[in-house]
């Protein structure tokens, strides 16, 4: 059997992901509520499971447009208008995969290398 190739030097020098370390510690702590990864600590409601299964049955498993599914963007815009009384169009709504992506996206839109605190 051929030996495994060594990792590139720059990869060996990458520090351990602290969020993963915190999560591992929380998982090993009885009674801890783990919020670091974004996985719910409860069973999904049946209607959500059924919606996912229906998508699989319709073969709706392809990548979505970069900003999100248009109907979902419109639903978010409608909800924002109703709750905040601010007129916002779906073209200003972007659906992200999670908090880290959303924060990165927001900071990329608002900050530049020259931005100082």
Query: pLDDT tens digit string along 1-36?
Result: 788 778 788 877 888 888 888 888 988 999 988 777
* Residues 106 and 90 placed together within one structural domain of the fold: yes
* Residues 57 and 73 placed together within one structural domain of the fold: no
* Residues 21 and 51 placed together within one structural domain of the fold: yes
pLDDT at position 107 is 87
Domain count, the chain: 2
Measure the CA–CA gap between 56 and 58, rounded to whole angstroms: 5
The vertex-100 CA angle with 95 and 106, nearest 5°, equals: 65
Specify the pTM: 0.57
* Residues 20 and 47 placed together within one structural domain of the fold: yes
With a CB cutoff of 8 Å and minimum separation 6, the contacts of 95 are 64, 67, 68, 69, 72, 73, 76
Residues 84-106, mean pLDDT to the nearest whole number: 90
Measure the CA–CA gap between 75 and 105, rounded to whole angstroms: 20
The domain in which residue 16 lies consists of 7-62
């Amino acid at each position: 059997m051929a030996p495994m190739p060594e990792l590139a030097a720059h990869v060996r020098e990458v520090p351990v992901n602290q969020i993963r370390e915190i999560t591992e510690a929380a998982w090993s702590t009885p009674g801890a509520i783990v919020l670091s990864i974004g996985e719910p600590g409860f069973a999904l409601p049946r209607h959500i499971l059924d919606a996912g299964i229906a998508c699989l049955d319709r073969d709706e498993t392809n990548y979505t447009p970069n900003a999100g599914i248009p109907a979902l963007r419109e639903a978010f815009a409608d909800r924002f208008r109703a709750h905040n009384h601010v007129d916002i169009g779906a073209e200003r709504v972007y659906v992200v995969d999670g908090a880290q992506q959303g924060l990165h996206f927001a900071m990329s839109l608002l900050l530049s290398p020259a931005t100082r605190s």
